[in-house]
Amino acid sequence: MNETEEGLHANLKTTLSILESLGFLINWDKSTIIPSKYIEYLGMIVDSDRLSFSLPAAKVEDVMDTCKKALADGEVPLRTVISILGNFTWAIPTIPFPQSHYRSMQHFCITESKRVGGDLNVKCTISSGSVLDFEWWVSNLSALNGKDFPQKIPDIEIFADASMSGWGAVCDGVATLGPWTTAQTSLPINQLELTGALYALQSFAGEAQGLSIRMYLDNSTAVCYINKGGGARSSELTTIAKELTEFSEMRNISKKLFTSPEQ
């Protein structure tokens, strides 16, 4: 990358000269030597003008058509479900909030695969949760296609923590906290950490729109579940993570969680 086209040509010439002098062979068929703000790389469109990743239009149509067919059929082979899940996973860098919208289908696929002994050719009736996942992708994939590169500097930072007695959070010197209900006190600490993160986000970003937020927790499991919009091991943690993602999605909040630097 360079600020000018002339500078880019010069950089390219220097790079090619160095590589060839070191004995590298240039694959010209797979190389692009004409400066462009848009390039397809690993099946994604990289836009250096908007600073975003997106899926090619043909791929978007293919994924949507596959989802529509699955919804129309109602009963599909597990092999088809796994193939669609693969497409969803591949699309993660190109659209916002995707991961929490295939967790029900992932759970369905794992459960059904165990039930039929791993025979991927067996047809299974799509679960109600999977139907909602399919419908979300059909409705949103085209409209949301094109995800901006993550901001290096967030708009705000939130530090949150939880214990068996309550939760607390700090943002820009302002603190908030609260106790658990009687029912919540019996929950595992991972669930409490996730719930505390949700409450912290609701407290400091309840009126926010379009913010980039960096949050720190001291629980690596909670960080993983929120960043990935859920997981395959715990339906309880996935439910909380999806609620947090839904809160962010409604407000177009870009969030990234990290394990607390003190740990």
Residue written as token pair 């929950």? 187
Amino acid 215: pLDDT: 92
Residues 64 and 142 in one domain: yes
Residues 6+ apart with CB under 8 A from 243: 198
Task: Work out whether strand 166-171 and strand 38-41 pair parallel, antiparallel, or are unpaired.
Answer: unpaired
Residues 6+ apart with CB under 8 A from 19: 26
Q: Which range marks the domain in which residue 107 is found?
A: 57-148
Torsion of CA 42, 47, 53, 59, to 10 degrees: -60
Amino acid 5: pLDDT: 81
The closest alpha carbon to 214, from 160, 163, 166, 177, belongs to: 160
Q: Over the stretch 112-126, which tens digit does the pLDDT of each residue have?
A: 999 999 999 999 999
> Do residues 214 and 261 lie in contact, with contact meaning Cβ atoms separated by under 8 Å?
no
How far is the CA of 218 from the CAs of 51, 170, 244, in angstroms? 31, 14, 17
Amino acid 263: pLDDT: 39
Residues 253 and 163 in one domain: yes
Asked, for residue 44, whether it belongs to a domain, the answer is no
Residues 101 and 123 in one domain: yes
Asked, for residue 230, whether it belongs to a domain, the answer is yes
Where is the domain boundary, 114, 148, 182? 148
Where is the domain boundary, 121, 148, 175? 148
Asked, for residue 236, whether it belongs to a domain, the answer is yes
Residues 86 and 144 in one domain: yes
Write the single-letter amino acid at 115. R
Asked, for residue 48, whether it belongs to a domain, the answer is no
Residues 95 and 12 in one domain: no
pTM of the model: 0.80
Q: How many domains does the chain have?
A: 3
Residues 141 and 164 in one domain: no
Give me the residues of the chain with pLDDT under 70, please. 1, 255-263
Residues 6+ apart with CB under 8 A from 147: 52, 53, 54, 93, 94, 95, 96
> Do residues 77 and 120 lie in contact, with contact meaning Cβ atoms separated by under 8 Å?
yes
Distance CA 55, CA 69 (A): 20
How far is the CA of 44 from the CAs of 41, 53, 59, 146, 230, in angstroms? 5, 6, 9, 10, 24
Residues 117 and 68 in one domain: yes
Residues 104 and 144 in one domain: yes
Sign of the torsion formed by the C-alpha atoms of 55, 57, 62 and 64? positive
Residues 117 and 188 in one domain: no
Asked, for residue 1, whether it belongs to a domain, the answer is yes
Asked, for residue 43, whether it belongs to a domain, the answer is no
Residues 187 and 227 in one domain: yes
Asked, for residue 46, whether it belongs to a domain, the answer is no
Residues 64 and 6 in one domain: no
Residues 6+ apart with CB under 8 A from 23: none
Asked, for residue 62, whether it belongs to a domain, the answer is yes
Rounded to 5 degrees, φ, ψ at 168 are -155, 160
Where is the domain boundary, 113, 148, 183? 148
Residues 140 and 160 in one domain: no
